[in-house]
Homo-oligomer: A and B are copies of this chain.
């Protein structure tokens, strides 16, 4: 039986905890994204409970769809871990001990001062014809089983890779053992490119990019797709063609130029890493930009309660730029730590333009940074009024030119965010970082950039 190219793949997650909705399955999306990046098209994801017959049937069904099936979960030591047994049944083989995997497991347990039990030893077993995949990050070995066409009714032998459920075990195992085993058609080159877009409503971007995001481009032309998260749009361009990599790359370049011509400075500089979430890309972009300009950042947070700082410091290396700041959730903290005048609070309320401005200037003083962001708003569900409904948030960006005695600039904007408490807070944090980005990336063009949800 010939080995088919891995032109497409199916992803199978197993586990009662997933089918019952006790955990969100992030592995499927990670695997799909990683496969897409490697030039393999994911065509279906399935999730089934810990049930030998169902797992076996589902693997056979998916094998008829694709010559590559990547599974997660069911490799551990408990009675609910049934992947090995189900695959052995599918290929009609006995389960045997893999000596190398058993040695690795014994060593790992010894290092953790735990003893080998019969249950633990199951994790080093495999169907006779299968190969174990080493797992330096956990106790369960992975599996690679080639399921003959005759056992599934497919037109090809199917490669089934079984990976452990914990992402920190699954991801390195995929990169080390699945990626090198992928058989893609050498005549077809796949390239992807990721761009992040700030402060453009999704519906506007959809209209303006409609001619580029048509669903069925000519063969060999790039495909452009858009997703939105927290107000940041992520554009994914992907080309799969028989052209040389150089020509395919030039086509992506042309597409990127067209997108940048349409959306202008709203497209973040640089290109994202495949898989990067918009929020992390923005935080990373802001840090890089400030570092290049030799600037530092401080915060004064009310309704976001620390989310702005959390988002910035989620990026490794942010300590070179981010100094810290104040979570001034109570009004007293705004007065004591940020120096907001009590009179301002009484006259305008904590959620107001003057208070946002005073908080940003206070955060600038408190931290000694060149740039400071403040956020004050009503995240809900309570606390709204006719004049300031839930979702009303003031965001201020104060900046000075590095000279201590010069009057800092301050840009304050009023937003009305939709959604629940989490949405309002996340959009406020993202809008604040976008304001810093625009102020520095396009050389002070910040004031001219109108942002989504901005009012007044």
Q: Which residues of B contact A312 (CB under 8 A)?
A: 305
Q: Which residues of B contact A124 (CB under 8 A)?
A: none
User: Measured between alpha carbons, how far is A29 from B21 in the docked complex, in Å?
Assistant: 4
A310 CB, min distance to chain B CBs, angstroms: 4
B316 touches A337 (CB 8 A): no
Stretch at the interface among A182-190, A318-326, A403-411: A318-326
Q: Which residues of B contact A327 (CB under 8 A)?
A: 299, 306, 309, 324-327
The closest CB in chain B to the CB of A311 belongs to B306
Check if A434 is an interface residue, CB within 8 A of chain B: no
A161 CB, min distance to chain B CBs, angstroms: 16
User: Measured between alpha carbons, how far is A422 from B284 in the docked complex, in Å?
Assistant: 15
Check if A366 is an interface residue, CB within 8 A of chain B: yes
The closest CB in chain B to the CB of A49 belongs to B43
Stretch at the interface among A11-19, A255-263, A393-401: A11-19
A115 CB, min distance to chain B CBs, angstroms: 13
B21 touches A28 (CB 8 A): yes
Q: Which residues of B contact A371 (CB under 8 A)?
A: none
Check if A249 is an interface residue, CB within 8 A of chain B: no
> In the complex, which of the residues B33, B43, B329 contacts A313, with contact meaning CB atoms closer than 8 Å?
B329
Q: Which residues of B contact A310 (CB under 8 A)?
A: 304-307, 309-310
Grouping DSSP codes into helix (H, G, I), strand (E, B) and loop, the A interface class, with mixed when no group exceeds half, is mixed
Check if A220 is an interface residue, CB within 8 A of chain B: no
Interface size on A, residues (CB 8 A): 86
> In the complex, which of the residues B47, B324, B337, B367 contacts A366, with contact meaning CB atoms closer than 8 Å?
B337
B317 touches A382 (CB 8 A): yes
Q: Which residues of B contact A419 (CB under 8 A)?
A: 168
B23 touches A24 (CB 8 A): no
Q: Which residues of B contact A206 (CB under 8 A)?
A: 78
The closest CB in chain B to the CB of A315 belongs to B421
A24 touches B26 (CB 8 A): yes
A333 touches B367 (CB 8 A): yes
A79 touches B299 (CB 8 A): no
Q: Which residues of B contact A234 (CB under 8 A)?
A: 22
Whether A301 contacts B309 in the complex (CB less than 8 A), given A324-B328, A324-B333, comes out as yes
Q: Which residues of B contact A303 (CB under 8 A)?
A: 313
B225 touches A16 (CB 8 A): yes
Check if A32 is an interface residue, CB within 8 A of chain B: yes
A28 touches B47 (CB 8 A): yes
Q: Which of A26-44 contact B (CB under 8 A)?
A: 26, 28-36, 42-44
B316 touches A382 (CB 8 A): yes
B313 touches A319 (CB 8 A): no
B49 touches A46 (CB 8 A): no
A324 touches B326 (CB 8 A): yes
A233 CB, min distance to chain B CBs, angstroms: 12
Which residues does A use to contact B, with CB under 8 Å?
A: 16-26, 28-36, 42-50, 54, 78-80, 168, 206, 215, 225, 227, 229, 234, 236, 275, 299, 301, 303-314, 316-319, 322-330, 332-333, 336-337, 366-368, 379-382, 419-423, 425
* Cβ contacts A to B, 18 pairs, < 8 Å: A20-B33, A21-B29, A21-B32, A22-B33, A22-B236, A23-B229, A43-B48, A44-B47, A44-B48, A299-B306, A301-B309, A306-B306, A306-B310, A314-B421, A314-B422, A316-B382, A324-B327, A324-B330
